Structure 1
Amino acid sequence: MTGQTEAKKTFTNIIGGQPVPAADGSTMDVLDPTTGAVYATAPQSAAEDVDRAYAAASKAYETWRWATPSERQLGLLKFADHVEANAEELVAVEVQDTGKPSGLTMSEEIGPMVDQLRFFAGAARVLEGRSSGEYLRGHTSSIRREPVGVVGQVSPWNYPMMMAVWKLAPALAAGCSVVIKPSDTTPASTVWMVNALQEFYPPGVVNVVCGDRDTGAALTSHAAPALVSITGSTRAGIAVATAAAKNLTRSHLELGGKAPVVVFDDASIEAAVEGIATAGYFNGGQDCTAATRVIAQAGIYDDFVAALTAKAKETRTGAPDDEDVLYGSINNANQLNHIAGLVERAAQSADVTAGGTRIDGPGFYYPPTVVAGVHQDDEIVQTEVFGPVITVQKFADESEALRAANGTEYGLASSVWTTNIDTAARMSAQLDFGCVWINTHIPLVAEMPHGGFKKSGYGKDLSMYGFEDYTRIKHVMHYHGLGA
Structure 2
Amino acid sequence: MPEAPDATAIQNPATGEVIERLELAGPAAVDAAVLAARKAQPDWGAATPGERAAVLNRVATLLQERAEDFAAVETRQCGKPIRLSREFDVPGTADNATFFAGAARVLEGKASGEYSAAHTSSIRREPLGVIGSIAPWNYPLNMAGWKVFPALAAGNAVVIKPAEITPLTTVMLARLFEEAGLPDGVLGVVVGTGPVAGEALVSHPEVDMVSFTGSTPVGKRVAELAARGPRRVHLELGGKAPFLVFDDADLEAAVHGAVAGALINGGQDCTAATRAYVQRPLYEQFVAGVADVLGTVRMGDPADPATDLGSLISARQAQRVHGFVSRALAAGARAVRGGSAPDGAFYSPTLLVGAAQDAEIVRDEVFGPVLVVLPFDSDEQGLALANDTRFGLAASAWTRDVFRAGRASRELAAGCVWINDHIPIVSEMPHGGIKASGYGKDMSAYALEEYTAVKHVMTENTGIARKDWHRTVFGAGGGSDV
**Fold match by TM threshold 0.5:** yes
Counterpart of 2:147 in structure 1 is 167
Is 2:403 aligned against 1:414? no
Counterpart of 1:156 in structure 2 is 136
Is 2:334 aligned against 1:354? no
Deviation, 1:38, is 2.7
Deviation, 1:118, is 0.6
Q: Distance in 2 between matches of 1:451 and 1:340?
A: 28
The amino acid that maps onto 1:378 is A
Deviation, 1:26, is 1.7
- Which residue of 248, 256, 262 maps to 1:280? 262
Deviation digits for residues 275-319 of structure 1, max 9, x if unmatched?
110111111011000012100111111111111111112112211
- Which residue of 199, 203, 220 maps to 2:184? 203
The amino acid that maps onto 2:92 is P
Deviation, 1:36, is 2.3
Deviation digits for residues 98-126 of structure 1, max 9, x if unmatched?
11222331112222211111110000000
- Which residue of 161, 164, 168 maps to 1:181? 161
Q: Distance in 2 between matches of 1:24 and 1:252?
A: 26
Q: TM-score, normalised by structure 2?
A: 0.93
Counterpart of 1:18 in structure 2 is none
Counterpart of 2:65 in structure 1 is 85
Deviation digits for residues 112-160 of structure 1, max 9, x if unmatched?
2111111100000000111112222232111111011100000011100
Tell me if structure 2 keeps the 8 A contact 1:358–1:365.
no
- Structure 2 counterpart SS, 1:347: helix
- Structure 1 counterpart SS, 2:59: helix
Q: Distance in 1 between matches of 2:206 and 2:135?
A: 19
Deviation, 1:24, is 8.6
- Structure 2 counterpart SS, 1:444: coil
Deviation digits for residues 332-388 of structure 1, max 9, x if unmatched?
23321210100011112111010112343xx41001110111221000000101110
Q: Distance in 1 between matches of 2:23 and 2:41?
A: 25
- Structure 1 counterpart SS, 2:229: coil
Counterpart of 1:132 in structure 2 is 112
The amino acid that maps onto 1:461 is D
Counterpart of 2:347 in structure 1 is 366
The amino acid that maps onto 1:327 is L
Tell me if structure 1 keeps the 8 A contact 2:4–2:192.
no
Counterpart of 2:412 in structure 1 is 431
Counterpart of 2:421 in structure 1 is 440
Deviation digits for residues 418-448 of structure 1, max 9, x if unmatched?
1111111111111110011011001001111
Map 1:49-128 to 2 at 5 A: 49-128=29-108
Tell me if structure 2 keeps the 8 A contact 1:411–1:452.
yes
Q: TM-score, normalised by structure 1?
A: 0.93
- Structure 1 counterpart SS, 2:308: coil
Tell me if structure 2 keeps the 8 A contact 1:42–1:211.
no
- Which residue of 240, 246, 259 maps to 2:228? 246
Deviation, 1:198, is 1.3
Is 2:172 aligned against 1:192? yes
- Which residue of 445, 457, 480 maps to 2:438? 457
Q: Distance in 2 between matches of 1:424 and 1:365?
A: 37
Q: Distance in 1 between matches of 2:260 and 2:5?
A: 43
Counterpart of 2:363 in structure 1 is 382
Tell me if structure 2 keeps the 8 A contact 1:137–1:481.
no
Kindly name which structure, 1 or 2, has the bigger radius of gyration based on alpha carbons.
2
The amino acid that maps onto 1:375 is A
Q: Distance in 2 between matches of 1:455 and 1:288?
A: 12
Q: Distance in 2 between matches of 1:315 and 1:333?
A: 20
Q: Distance in 1 between matches of 2:333 and 2:189?
A: 45
Deviation, 1:393, is 0.6
Tell me if structure 2 keeps the 8 A contact 1:313–1:355.
no
Q: Distance in 2 between matches of 1:359 and 1:48?
A: 40
Moved beyond 3 Å, runs of 4+:
none
Q: Distance in 2 between matches of 1:373 and 1:88?
A: 43
Map 1:260-279 to 2 at 5 A: 260-279=242-261
Q: Distance in 2 between matches of 1:130 and 1:428?
A: 29
Deviation, 1:253, is 0.2
Q: Distance in 1 between matches of 2:19 and 2:71?
A: 16
The amino acid that maps onto 1:333 is A
Tell me if structure 1 keeps the 8 A contact 2:4–2:193.
no
Counterpart of 1:328 in structure 2 is 310
Deviation, 1:78, is 0.3
Counterpart of 1:4 in structure 2 is none
Tell me if structure 2 keeps the 8 A contact 1:42–1:187.
no
- Structure 2 counterpart SS, 1:410: coil
Deviation, 1:482, is 6.5
Q: Residues 37, 321 of structure 1: CA spacing in aligned structure 2 closer, same or farther, 3 A cutoff?
A: closer
Structure 2 unpaired stretches of 5+: 468-482
The amino acid that maps onto 2:293 is K
Deviation, 1:403, is 1.3
Q: Distance in 2 between matches of 1:473 and 1:197?
A: 27
